[in-house]
Structure 1
Amino acid sequence: MSARETLKIRAVRAEQGEGVAVFAFFLFGADIHRIADISRIRREDHELKGFQRREIREHVNQITAFLDSGPVLFPNAVILALAPEVDFASARGRSPGNMCEVGDAGTLTIPIYPEGRRAAWIVDGQQRSLALAAAKDHSIAVPVIGFVSDELETQREQFILVNKAKPLPTRLINELLPEVSVLLPRDLAARQLPSVLCEALNTDPNSPFFGLIKRESDRSGIVTDNALIDAMKVSLKTSAGALGQFKGNGSGNDAEAMYDTLLLYWSAVKEAFPEAWGKAPANSRLMHSAGIRAMGALMDPLMLKLDGVPDKRATLRTILTRLAPHCHWTEGTWEGLGVDWNKVQSTSQDIARLTDHLIRLERDLARSAS
């Protein structure tokens, strides 16, 4: 039986967090993909796998062209998650006096396995690593930081935090947020709960949005998760919001009550506008981000009216059915706005005008009916 192939590297070992081993070392660019896989975000049997976005070929080509332009300085570190089976042996010998003992120098041994079963995963730097693999010079020395963890949640946490300031697709961050439990920066934390609710709406067979939400791992949906998440964020901002009323003050959020509210409201919307529901945004502005945002804003005042009502579903259905003839999601012109149905765009101005129009229209119809 032949010995297992390995890659031995001079490295410095330190610890962070709760005893997590972190290594700093250099690799030839061509060696990164010998030891590390790219964990693409995808879904298998409705379970989220991986975390990396799709390859951006133009970006990779630009980096490759730079690397092939001659002797270059390329000090950008690649971050890897390493399997616990990597081995580290400290170097022997006496350390120089007055040395800053931050880390322990030695030899890191990483086993080399076939693609898909490798002992490392790229957390940050997938486009750079692809460019390095394609570059003519395979001997470019690349700085690498590796932390030991085979926990996918830890890898996702690091991926989100490392890439927070970079222009990653918002949908990618949205889909990963429900899968992590690390303490997040305030702006990401504000999106985490709406992302969890959005994921539930997309995967629950009883949800009107079942399979309709476009996510980074599955772009077959028609409703952008950004629109739903932004609508939920607005409702969560105030205690008077349909969702905000269930936010706990130190006692935790009642996510179940929030989800029930979303199911009740959007199911009634689906029933009130059957001809507009489930169509592509080009054919129905209700499923367009502008329609989702505007109807999402209408949820707050309508759900407030249901306080103390015995049959909330029937009352909500009555309100929306009364509103339906005045809405133009698939044809005609919005009276009061003077805008054709397909001219409403996902701009803040159009969303605000449509929102104000719907709220005012519903209020006027309620007064006429009373």
Structure 2
Amino acid sequence: MTERIIRRRALRIEQNPNIPLYIFALEAGEIDRVADVARISRDEAGKLLGYQRPEKRQHVKQILEYLDGGDVLFPNGLILALPSTVRFRGSRGPNSTDGLATIGTLEIPLPDSPNAPRPALIVDGQQRSLALARTRHSKLPITVAGFVAEDVEIQRDQFLRVNTVSPLPRDLVTELLPEVNTKLPTRLSARKLPSILVNALNQDPDSPFKGLIKRASSTTEKNTHAVVADNSLVAAIEQSLTPSGVLFPYKNLSDGTTDTDTMRSILVTYWTAVRDTFPGAWGLPPTKSRLMHGVGIRSMGRLMDRLMDRVLETTEPNSKDAYEITMGELAIVAPHCHWTKGRWNGLNLPWNELENTGRHINLLSNVLIRIYLQSRKSTS
């Protein structure tokens, strides 16, 4: 009976005493036996699973063409998350370590059957791994860095960090950020709270956006109903979290805490009123409604900062009064909006020529805010 273990000479890198890190080599044909891809998805309860983007077939094809050619040099290694069942046996002798690394043998257990889960997960290099599994040079040695971590949170953290040179799709990063609790780089940290709020808007039963937001984990079937790009909502919420935004007062800068419940209530109240003010434009694909387009989401988000400031002067964000007052405020701009037909008078543009560009977002935002403020001024 074939032993279900792969043994490789390895270096244990003395980097983190709590997370063992090994450098070793596998044959190209062994990658598929040892490691699997944790595709991003959600279970029936909405819990996020995995973290990897879909296969890029053209990219894999290009790598495979190179691997199947002659005179191959493939220094691009893989990063694997290894199971706690791996065993490392250090070599004996005075020269087995230099304080930075220890020489030894790494034992990786293999699954009992081809259909059983593989022991490791690919953190970086999934497109390369797919090509390596198909190359005719199945004995080609491949460099591997493996760290022992079965905690998917650590895996996601490392996945986000190693994909900074070649940026990940923004929607994938948006969906992963709420699941990472370790300290993040400043750029990613600023997007975490908006990502958490977008996640709530897409899942909470009382949210007008429930099921309408395109997520990296969404199946093709679910994406047919999703019409709003999550990055547009993230950008709108990021704007509202700046000092001039309506959500900013609910961030406690002194102790770093945030009142996410109140923020969520403000967002649900406002966007529910938007939905009910423009029922004919809500939930349609962006090609049929610019309200669901990035330019509409971003511009209405900026209007929210002005409008909800006034609403919250007299009422709590999650009250029925807040909804009714918000509906009344939106009624000021509603007659001037052309989300599905007609022309925007203040812009001299047909409804479907508005694009998700900085220029058009600024132009539309200025029109909406100017109409709202001028009307408020004339009635005060």
Structure 1 length as normaliser, TM-score?
Answer: 0.95
**Unmatched runs of 5 consecutive residues or more in structure 2:** 316-320
What one-letter code is carried by the residue in structure 2 that aligns with 1:232?
Answer: I
Q: Which residue of 1 aligns with 2:130?
A: 130
Q: Which residue of 1 aligns with 2:250?
A: 246
1:192 positional shift: 0.5
Q: 1:115 to 1:127 in 2, by over 3 A?
A: farther
Q: Which residue of 1 aligns with 2:277?
A: 272
Alignment of 1:44-63 (within 5 A): 44-45=43-44, 46-63=46-63
Asked if structure 2 preserves the Cα contact closer than 8 Å seen for 1:4 and 1:111, the reply is no
Q: Which residue of 2 aligns with 1:37?
A: 36
SS at match of 1:20: coil
1:115 positional shift: 4.6
Q: 1:230 to 1:343 in 2, by over 3 A?
A: same
Pairing 1:109–2:107 present:
yes
Q: 1:17 to 1:92 in 2, by over 3 A?
A: closer
What one-letter code is carried by the residue in structure 1 that aligns with 2:95?
Answer: S
1:6 positional shift: 1.1
Q: Distance in 1 between matches of 2:229 and 2:369?
A: 23
Q: Distance in 2 between matches of 1:44 and 1:119?
A: 21
Identify the range of structure 1 (112-121 vs 164-173) with the bigger mean alpha-carbon deviation.
Answer: 112-121
What one-letter code is carried by the residue in structure 2 that aligns with 1:107?
Answer: T
What one-letter code is carried by the residue in structure 1 that aligns with 2:82?
Answer: L
Q: Which residue of 2 aligns with 1:257?
A: 262
Aligned residues: 366
Q: Distance in 1 between matches of 2:168 and 2:141?
A: 26
Instruction: Map Cα deviations across residues 191-221 of structure 1 (whole Å, 9 max, x no partner).
Output: 0000000000000010000000000011611
Q: Which residue of 2 aligns with 1:289?
A: 294
1:139 positional shift: 1.8
Structure 2 length as normaliser, TM-score?
Answer: 0.93
1:366 positional shift: 2.1
Instruction: Map Cα deviations across residues 239-260 of structure 1 (whole Å, 9 max, x no partner).
Output: x311111111132111111111
Alignment of 1:63-142 (within 5 A): 63-95=63-95, 100-113=98-111, 114-115=114-115, 117-142=117-142
Q: Distance in 2 between matches of 1:81 and 1:234?
A: 36
Asked if structure 1 preserves the Cα contact closer than 8 Å seen for 2:228 and 2:292, the reply is yes
What one-letter code is carried by the residue in structure 1 that aligns with 2:30?
Answer: D
Q: Distance in 2 between matches of 1:334 and 1:186?
A: 39
SS at match of 1:134: coil
What one-letter code is carried by the residue in structure 2 that aligns with 1:215?
Answer: R
Q: Distance in 1 between matches of 2:132 and 2:229?
A: 34
Q: Which residue of 2 aligns with 1:144?
A: 144
Asked if structure 1 preserves the Cα contact closer than 8 Å seen for 2:14 and 2:100, the reply is no
Q: 1:299 to 1:331 in 2, by over 3 A?
A: same
Q: Which residue of 2 aligns with 1:6?
A: 5
Identify the range of structure 1 (13-22 vs 128-137) with the bigger mean alpha-carbon deviation.
Answer: 13-22
**Unmatched runs of 5 consecutive residues or more in structure 1:** none
1:18 positional shift: 4.8
What one-letter code is carried by the residue in structure 1 that aligns with 2:293?
Answer: H
1:75 positional shift: 0.8
Query: RMSD over aligned Cα, in angstroms?
Result: 1.5
Q: Distance in 1 between matches of 2:204 and 2:363?
A: 32
Asked if structure 2 preserves the Cα contact closer than 8 Å seen for 1:37 and 1:116, the reply is no
1:65 positional shift: 1.1
What one-letter code is carried by the residue in structure 2 that aligns with 1:223?
Answer: V
Q: Which residue of 2 aligns with 1:325?
A: 335
Q: Distance in 1 between matches of 2:89 and 2:115?
A: 26
Instruction: Map Cα deviations across residues 271-313 of structure 1 (whole Å, 9 max, x no partner).
Output: 1111111111111100001100000011111111123314332
Identity of aligned pairs, percent? 45
Q: Distance in 1 between matches of 2:246 and 2:253?
A: 16
Asked if structure 2 preserves the Cα contact closer than 8 Å seen for 1:68 and 1:137, the reply is yes
2:307 to 302, 305, 330: 302
Asked if structure 2 preserves the Cα contact closer than 8 Å seen for 1:37 and 1:115, the reply is no
Pairing 1:158–2:158 present:
yes
Instruction: Map Cα deviations across residues 321-344 of structure 1 (whole Å, 9 max, x no partner).
Output: 222111000111001111101110
Q: Which residue of 1 aligns with 2:354?
A: 344
What one-letter code is carried by the residue in structure 2 that aligns with 1:273?
Answer: F
